[in-house]
Amino acid sequence: MKCKVNKEKCISCGTCIVLAEASFKWDEDGKAVEVVPPGDDEQTIKDAAGACPVGAIEIEE
Ligand code: SF4
């Protein structure tokens, strides 16, 4: 499974980083970015993606 943050959509709320801190981090421009490889289990990443208020996290199975 791969995940990717669409930076155009990200509003820097920090939810994904709180929910899946081993899979998302802050980029130098203040947007979230995926950690490669992600360090959380799939369900945690999916939950974080689902919690993004703007749907900026794309999941590829
Ligand atoms: S939850 Fe969505 S909007 Fe918030 S920091 Fe993560 S990617 Fe950006």
Q: Which atom of ligand 1 is nearest to the CA of 24?
A: 6
Question: What is the average pLDDT score of the chain?
Answer: 96
Confidence of residue 13 (pLDDT cuts 50, 70, 90): very high
Q: State the fold for domain 2-60.
A: Alpha-Beta Plaits (3.30.70)
The answer for 31, left when phi > 0, alpha when psi is -120 to 50, beta otherwise, is beta
- Read off the DSSP letter of residue 40: S
Q: Which residues line ligand 1 (CB under 6 A)?
A: 5, 10-16, 32, 52-54, 56-57
When computed from its CA atoms, the radius of gyration of the chain, rounded to whole angstroms, is 10
- At 48-58, the pLDDT tens digits run 999 999 999 99
Helix (H, G, I), strand (E, B) or coil at 54: coil
| 10, 29, 47, best to mutate for ligand 1 pocket (most atoms within 8 Å of CB) | 10
Domain ranges of the chain: 2-60
Cα(60) to ligand 1 centroid in Å equals 17
Mean pLDDT along residues 20-29: 97
Cα-Cα end-to-end distance for the chain:
5
User: Is the CB of residue 15 less than 8 Å from the CB of residue 56?
Assistant: no
Confidence of residue 30 (pLDDT cuts 50, 70, 90): very high
Of 51, 29, 37, 41, the residue nearest 4 (C-alpha)? 37
Mean pLDDT along residues 8-33: 98
- pLDDT score of 1: 83
